[in-house]
């Protein structure tokens, strides 16, 4: 659930910037111990730029899940995070 919140916050954030494809956002998975998802409040999301390539954003989800803090972490960082959605 936290991953979905992170992705939605990044989508909302990049829509306002108008240079990203807000429909092409992929974030790292929530932490898991064995098969059980653990509370996770930090994610990295890759977002495709309109001019090609992807930028990475760091996302910190508020504990109450009412929102998140989104900031650009790295420009042109690649579009593959390795896992996530």
What are the tens digits of pLDDT across the range 5-36?
889 999 999 999 989 999 999 999 877 776 66
DSSP class of residue 25 equals: E
pLDDT band at 84 (very low <50, low <70, confident <90, very high): very low
pLDDT band at 85 (very low <50, low <70, confident <90, very high): very low
Q: Residue with structure tokens 């909302």?
A: 12
Q: Report phi then psi at 16, rounded to 5.
A: -70, -25
What are the tens digits of pLDDT across the range 36-77?
666 788 999 999 999 999 999 999 988 776 778 999 999 999
Cα-trace Rg, the chain: 12
């Amino acid at each position: 659930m936290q991953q979905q919140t992170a992705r939605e916050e990044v989508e909302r954030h990049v829509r306002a910037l108008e240079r990203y494809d807000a429909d092409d956002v992929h974030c790292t998975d929530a932490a898991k111990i064995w098969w059980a998802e653990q509370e996770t409040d930090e994610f990295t999301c890759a977002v495709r730029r309109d001019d090609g390539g992807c930028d990475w954003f760091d996302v910190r989800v508020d504990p109450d899940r009412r929102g998140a803090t989104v900031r650009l972490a790295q420009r042109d960082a690649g579009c593959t995070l390795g896992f996530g959605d």
